[in-house]
Amino acid sequence: MCFSAPVSFGASAVIGLTGIATLKSVKKKNEILFAAIPLIFALQQLVEGFLWISFGHEIINPILTFIFNFIAMFGWQIIMPVSIYLLEDKKNLLRRKILLVIIFIAVIHSLFILYIMISHSINASVLYGSIRYNIPNFPLYCGFTSSITYNAVILLSFWISSIKFIKIWGVLLLISSVLAFEFFRLMYFSVWCFFAAVLSILIYLFFKKR
């Protein structure tokens, strides 16, 4: 998480164990990707934990920074809508078509973000006791537009789903996003990823209940 290495490692361990239990609860192939979300979040928190202790290392720190943001900015945009699309009943043709459109937008925007990350060399720094990720020379208006697109792609896919739990989880993600932006604006991605990682534990309850 953005506060310290021990918090990141602890969160990774708890969420990782929950993720393993979640995957064991899967009964259908189309549920695997959604069930894997906690485990992916655990990996991301593990990476940030090592990132905390890599500051000052000129080779490892940039690599870990890239991996964390690859998952955060590239991975989640595609994983979220695709996993929800796979869960959606095939009878709900309109919802599935809308989700396909969202997935298309997500892929295009993810590739754009990946290009920016590579061409501008994203970096990490400690600010007010937290980790801030920054892309040098990236225009502010482009960053704002990308943030809107990023949030829209992820959150809309949850709200379009016909599954009640996914809709509720989408609302919780929105609340966590607003809180992260309001109170940790400069460290937004780090903090929101942590909030979302904690919320991913609820996915276990979803599969357990089913």
Range of the domain at 100: 5-209
Output the pTM of the full model: 0.88
pLDDT bracket for residue 141 (50, 70, 90): low
- The percentage of the chain sitting over the pLDDT mark of 90, rounded to a whole number, equals 48
Q: Which of 73-77, 102-106, 122-126, 127-131 has the lowest mean pLDDT?
A: 127-131
Give pLDDT tens digits for 11-56.
Answer: 899 999 999 999 999 989 999 999 999 999 999 989 999 999 999 8
- 163: exposed, middle or buried (Cβ count in 10 Å: 0-12, 13-18, 19+): middle
H/E stretch holding 130 reads strand 130-134
- Would the pLDDT of 139 be above 80? no
**Average pLDDT over every residue of 141-166:** 85
pLDDT at site 56: 83
Q: How many domains does the chain have?
A: 1
**Average pLDDT over every residue of 189-198:** 79
**Average pLDDT over every residue of 170-193:** 79
Q: Give the SS3 label for residue 200.
A: coil
Helices (H), the chain: 5-24, 32-35, 37-52, 60-69, 76-87, 93-120, 140-160, 164-183, 188-199, 202-209
Give pLDDT tens digits for 76-114.
Answer: 999 999 999 999 998 999 999 999 999 999 999 999 889
